[in-house]
Amino acid sequence: MQIRALLNESIAKLKEQGSSSPRLDAELLMMHVTKLNKVQLITGDLADLNALDETVFRALLAERLKGVPMAYILGERDFWDLTLKVTPDTLIPRPDTEILVEKALTLINCNHLRDVLDLGTGTGAIILALKHSAPEIRATAIDMSAAALEVAQENAARYHLEVNFQQGCWFTPFVEESAEAQAELQAELQAGGRSGAHAAAHDALALSDGQSRAAQLQAQAQAQAGLLPQAARFDLIVSNPPYIEEDDPHLSQGDVRFEPRSALVSGKDGLDDIRIIVHEARAFLRNNGYLLLEHGYNQGAAVRALLSELGYAKVETIRDYGQNERVTLGCYRPQ
């Protein structure tokens, strides 16, 4: 079948299904199948498509007509100056997140920040964009999904970017490191007695089985100069965490229907994970370190309040390309 005729047929079907970009979708699918660029597609659309390519194209079109996001069908998405692999195990990188990258790079360059942590990295979009633009940083990224981390590692390898990827929920990899250090110190104390400095650090991190998670984190924050490994201290922590309300009607619309719910939803008001990050980050930020968070268009005031209540200074919110409050930051200065 002729390429132009197949494109026109596909555009009509996509319009009928309510696609907001039927021509673009059809052309992207055709370029993906034929490996033609935009100019070649325009100048060569009178050619006939071979039978195999037509079969593949129609199969991909069928997926798009079901609403499957283009990023998942094509297997990649452009973000910043990178082309990243994307799978259904990862959130699809979006242009508004580039606002966070822009601000993070400004902070890195103006304050000579070097150790950067990305929480909930997904495809690795944020940390890889930062590392690609500021290769001098020491980059660390965490995600609880092993499948997502595999994607992020592939994206890092594609651009030869060195990132320390770790699996865990928010700061848990570092908490586990601290627990190991505490066990080693306990053994040392039992073998050789309690020195003053070690005794103070041990007391601050003496986490009994009956203590709550919040109490454990508070103890760790009090012992920042003690057992937390140096690798767990950062000048900048960035995150695009889940921030959608659990009953938000948008969860049943558009691309988000197909994205991992764990990367989208965070409690009744969408702020559960942001509360955890804002609270815990204080134990892992160096003095005058920055926390930078993406959030929902209507959550700026709430996130600013959280940061201010927990002692962060220089709290401000930045608007996205649609002029919605999208990214909020604070500088942590321990009392």
Q: How far apart are CA 207 and CA 219, in angstroms?
A: 8
Q: How far apart are CA 196 and CA 218, in angstroms?
A: 21
Tokens 């070649």 map to which residue?
40
With a pLDDT cut of 70, the percent of the chain lying above it is 83
Q: Mark the ranges of the chain whose per-residue pLDDT is less than 50.
A: 185, 189, 193-228
Tokens 């200065």 map to which residue?
333
pLDDT in tens, 228-247: 455 568 999 999 998 888 77
Judged by phi (left if over 0) then psi (alpha if -120 to 50, else beta), residue 19 lies in beta
pTM, rounded to two decimals: 0.81
Q: Which residues pair with 127 in a beta bridge?
A: none
Q: What is the pLDDT of residue 177?
A: 57
| CA nearest neighbour of 15 among 60, 62, 65 | 65
Residue 284 backbone phi and psi in degrees, to 5: -120, 0
SS3 content of the chain, % helix, strand, coil (to 5): 50, 20, 30
pLDDT in tens, 145-195: 999 999 999 999 999 999 999 999 889 888 765 555 555 545 554 565 444
Q: How far apart are CA 312 and CA 37, in angstroms?
A: 49
| CA nearest neighbour of 119 among 94, 92, 150, 145 | 145
Q: How far apart are CA 334 and CA 286, in angstroms?
A: 9
